Copies of this chain bind each other. A is one copy, B any other.
Amino acid sequence: MPETATPLFQRLTLIGLGLIGSSVARAARENGLAAEIVACDASESVCARVTELGFADRVEPDLIRAVTGADCVMLCVPVGVMADTAATIAPHLAPGCILTDVGSTKLSVVRDVGPVVPDGVHFVPAHPLAGTEFSGPDAGFAELFQGRYCLVVPPAGTNADAVAKIVALWQGMGAMVEEMEPAHHDRVLAVTSHLPHLIAFTICGTADDLADETKDEVLRFAASGFRDFTRIAASDPVMWRDIFLNNREALLEMLARFTEDAQAMAKAIRWGDAGYIEDKVLRGRKIRRSLIEIKQA
């Protein structure tokens, strides 16, 4: 911990030491954001590896012991296990403690975790828009959040100081923080992240179902576009299963819109409607230009 920094928290407990949890541990330590970092993971082998990697001050496999006395607890597990994890730890959270998470869906976390948060504990859900296609404690690194957005979605009436501390925590790790409504978060992420991943997984499956000879050549000649889809598709199955199931409404709506648009394109191709096709390609270009203009390309 840099000597000069005043830590935001006395004891930051991270539950789930995968890509995100282990990156938070490294970034919090490097930036002196917590006086003590406690790491808790359900898997013995992960706990052993975290001990070896040495980025936590204490590795505590027991959930209840891990959260006891913490002034901030961050859930870094797949969104499908947030409910159970929160229910187990809730009675053991100290008054004034801030409970936060990094889950990729937010309505579900508010729905699943919100009701079990005890009085006097502040619940500040968040979602860092940063990641790689790798997982586990070895995949994390301290710079993961630098220059990336982190969306914070506090329920109405959340203690303002608690929100400010979570904002400061993410800013301290280099992120740009924005507040957002959970429902809006889930719609935006459905388009920017969940639908692209669904499409990428699906097209890999479509390719995998082809006759052998064609499939082999699809792999060999993947460089022409397909390859970029497989990169997106290399992610963790449990994490993505949970995201799809926990952002069902928004994702299915966006998929339905996309499918309609793809059908309209198919019809234009079938009937030779050159103008329609050109117009769609131009819109792709326009969107790309907008991204370049706002420096998100």
Contacts and interface: CB of A to CB of B under 8 A. Distances in A.
Contacts of A296: 219-220, 222-223, 227
Nearest to A176: B220
A212 to B, nearest CB: 13
A206 interface: yes
A188 B240 contact: no
A261 B129 contact: no
A285 interface: yes
Contacts of A204: 283-284, 286-288
B233 A202 contact: no
Q: Which range contains the number of A residues in contact with the other chain?
A: 35 or more
A111 to B, nearest CB: 15
A161 to B, nearest CB: 27
A51 interface: no
A110 interface: no
Contacts of A280: 201-202, 205
Contacts of A291: 219, 222, 227, 230
A142 interface: no
A277 interface: yes
Interface in A220-247: 220-238, 240-241, 244-245
A260 to B, nearest CB: 8
How many identical chains are in the complex?
A: 2
A239 to B, nearest CB: 9
Point out which of A149, A196, A235 has the most chain B C-beta atoms below 10 A from its C-beta.
A196
A192 B205 contact: no
Interface stretch (A22-30, A59-67, A249-257): A249-257
B285 A202 contact: no
A129 B224 contact: yes
A199 interface: yes
Given A233-B281, A259-B259, 16 more contacts: A129-B221, A192-B225, A193-B225, A199-B262, A203-B258, A206-B254, A208-B286, A223-B296, A227-B291, A228-B232, A230-B297, A237-B277, A241-B277, A248-B270, A251-B269, A255-B266
